[in-house]
Chain A
Amino acid sequence: MTELHKSGAAVGEVVDASPAPTAFLEVRDLKVHFPTDDGVVKSVDGLNFQLERGRTLGIVGESGSGKSVTSLGIMGLHTAGQYGKRRARISGEIWLDGTELLSADPDHVRKLRGREMAMIFQDPLSALHPYYTIGHQIVEAYRVHHDVDKKTARRRAVEMLDRVGIPQPDKRVDSYPHEFSGGMRQRAMIAMSLVNNPELLIADEPTTALDVTVQAQILDLIRDLQKEFGSAVIIITHDLGVVAELADDILVMYGGRCVERGPAEKVFYEPRHPYTWGLLGSMPRLDREQTDRLIPVKGSPPSLINLPSGCAFNPRCPYADVPKDNVTRTVRPELQEVGGRHWAACHMTQEQRERIWTEEIAPKL
């Protein structure tokens, strides 16, 4: 694993040796490809974004859009402990607080994991080791990065459990995961990920496995904790409701690429990509008058082995036939700024999209 990388070198494989960014987290042209028997699965194929401390980025997309693969890529979990030919191929740059992670020494990245960047997973029951107590697992997470004795670490674990709202933390610290309810387990998972005060917290579908009343509790907790710790948060979800609750910025992924990115307000109120329109039209909403019909996106998500040439959304796009100036269908649209800090990747002109959104889509939502 190590032979590929020059330890500490700041120069990645990317041709233009661009300078270190000023943003806290910056992802540049990230590609994560998995070789399989049927071909190369391009799970993430050229992704760019930045994130500052204290801000929350919501990554939205359907299964297979590459959102979880991105998060594991940032954490360096595609290569850690992966052996043999099936290993993921990753390229691009991931800058975390001035360090480029993909070219860094893997052991250095390991030391950042859990301390600088931590992760909350979807299903806390399977993400916690069934044979160790909650306390043991939190203590372990703390002691990897802090040279303290077990007693001190245990005090810290109890303190964290208390902070995330687990009743009787000094008793529950010795419970096993199966003795907790789903919501409590996710709280324990959050306590574990925050035990080292990470500056970047990635939450991958943190509430998908939970009931709606528990989901509300957990979202609330994440919001409070972020305010308290001031860390940067990436929340990955398929639920537009969840991102609307938490995110400052939203990144919409489709077929391994970003199709739209911008401040939450903009993405919800002035979306400029047909796929975002599709997502908004597909979901029944409690905050609107009852509609007769949902407006689904036709067809199915694309195969990541044979992505359509050109725009990946083209086969499902209801506006694929809108006449476009000077563009060939086989060319992939690049992200273009459509407003302040708001980008979308679509071949239609700005005016066309603005018209379609205000005249055809928005009134039906």
Chain B
Amino acid sequence: MNQKSTGTQGAAAGDVLLKVNGLQKHFPIRKGMLQRQVGAVKAVDGIDFEVRSGETLGVVGESGCGKSTMGRLITRLLEPTAGTVEFEGRDITHLGVSGMRPMRRDVQMIFQDPYSSLNPRHTIGTIVGAPFRLQGVTPEGGIKKEVQRLLEVVGLNPEHYNRYPHEFSGGQRQRIGIARALALSPKLVIADEPVSALDVSIQAQVVNLLDDLQDELGLTYVIIAHDLSVVRHVSDRIAVMYLGKIVELADRSSLYRAPMHPYTKALLSAVPIPDPRRRSAKSERILLKGDVPSPIAPPSGCRFHTRCWKATRICTTQEPPLIELKPGQRVACHHPENAEDQAPQDTQLLSAAREAIELVPVGRDEAPAGQGAAAAEPATGSEGAAAEGTASGE
């Protein structure tokens, strides 16, 4: 599973298509009349990962974790502060506009907002056909025919070629955005919150469409989203981001069954489950207290230590590296869940850690006795129960 040495050309399934090393993006904060730089928002602060051909990498995290910035960095819509981005073994980090042009055919982006990402003055035909004109490519049979074929592929009526975006519903507009992204048969599609602006029933249509397109066209996806259920549904592997860092990177089943990073665990347990009976089931929810710290001055050491219930001294001083603790599961934590403690000598909990969380019984009326005492050391018996609903004995 260790893919660190791979970097070969070509895009056979399973090969590394995209490789990101030490990627950073700091947005300078300028102040005063002279616009001196007084600090930086460390939106993305050193991340490494790779995406293999044909897979879907899901990226989750809360607002401000840097996931969208990351997406814009790998499509080179933003200039990285440091680090490298390799596509098919080629360093594209510092390619200029002309150098990027051929690359733009292979890497496409789908945006969140189907209302603002389409020019209201252009017809659907013009919008979907734009990539051909920009790249100077004439597809077989002409642009119009190809655009109509694409519209059909994404489930739109090809006769709507001459209509304008406002004549379509939100879900249909997102399909238009997808058709545009697919025009040049890209190898990699980055989708930034592709369904979060859509209604539930429409969300499912678009998720299924993305799925089908991957099967048919052999696409590789990086799907950025805040919705953990959607990410689980679409992804093969998942990266969890917190304050500009990847804290856990694992394949889907490992991550959702046995999350190792405390943050991942808290995140999973926070998702409301659409099942009223779960309220009285004997499981509990980890309720993180407070808010995500500012990315301008992120906490020292492990960035999660200010809100973590397992934090010890070492967490405040040493940044845990992202290492593979189990095949296919990398985590950056000194005291991971569901794995061997990486710093067993350090056992003294920080005083903040004792109050970091509240364990809330999900059952409304049947609060088990003695919950408060368990706050400092979450009961190991309930390990993963929050993540695996089906295991809770229904």
Contact = CB atoms under 8 A, between A and B. Distances in A.
Whether A and B touch directly in their complex, counting CB atoms under 8 A apart, is answered as yes
Interface of A: 62-63, 181-184, 211-217, 219-220, 223, 238-245, 247, 264-265, 268-269, 278-291, 293-298, 300-301
B273 A241 contact: yes
For B202, B266, B289, the residue with the greatest tally of chain A CB atoms inside 10 Å of its CB is: B202
A62 B268 contact: no
Contacts of B230: 284
A5 B207 CA distance: 50
Contacts of A268: 274-277
A63 to B, nearest CB: 6
Contacts of A280: 274
Given A287-B278, A293-B208, A244 B199 contact: no
B204 A296 contact: yes
A241 B274 contact: yes
B35 interface: no
B228 interface: yes
A130 to B, nearest CB: 20
B200 A279 contact: yes
Nearest to B206: A296
B256 interface: yes
Contacts of B200: 62, 238-240, 279, 282-283
A107 to B, nearest CB: 38
B275 A215 contact: no
A296 B202 contact: yes
Given A183-B291, A281-B204, A296-B201, A286 B271 contact: yes
Given A244-B278, A279-B201, A294-B207, A286 B273 contact: yes
B204 A211 contact: no
B266 A213 contact: yes
A212 B229 CA distance: 11
A240 B273 CA distance: 8
* Chain B interface size, under 10 / 10 to 19 / 20 to 34 / 35 or more: 35 or more
A304 to B, nearest CB: 13
Interface string B210-250: 01000000000000001011101100000000000000000
A300 B228 contact: no
Contacts of A243: 274
Contacts of B199: 62-63, 238, 301
A245 B279 CA distance: 7
B278 to A, nearest CB: 7
Given A223-B364, A241-B274, A287-B390, 6 more contacts: A62-B199, A63-B199, A213-B62, A241-B272, A287-B278, A290-B233
A281 B232 CA distance: 16
Contact of B228 (A212, A239, A297): A212
Contact of B204 (A219, A283, A290): A283
Contacts of A293: 208, 211
Which of A278, A296, A301: most chain B CB closer than 10 A? A296
Interface in B66-108: none
29 contacts: A63-B199, A212-B62, A212-B226, A212-B270, A213-B270, A216-B269, A216-B285, A217-B287, A238-B199, A241-B271, A241-B274, A244-B272, A244-B273, A268-B274, A279-B201, A280-B274, A283-B204, A284-B207, A284-B232, A285-B273, A286-B229, A286-B256, A286-B268, A287-B273, A287-B274, A290-B233, A297-B201, A298-B205, A300-B169
Contacts of B256: 286
Interface string B269-300: 11111111111000001011101100000000
Nearest to B364: A223
B387 interface: yes
B349 interface: no
Contacts of A215: 270, 272
Contacts of A297: 201, 204-205
Contact of B63 (A184, A211, A281, A288): A211
B203 interface: yes
B252 interface: yes
B274 A282 contact: no
Given A181-B291, A287-B278, A295 B204 contact: yes
Contacts of B18: none
B123 interface: no
B389 interface: yes
A290 B232 contact: yes
B229 A283 contact: yes
Nearest to A293: B208
Contact of A211 (B62, B233, B276): B62
A244 B204 CA distance: 20
Contacts of A181: 291
B360 interface: yes
B252 A290 contact: yes
B389 A212 contact: no
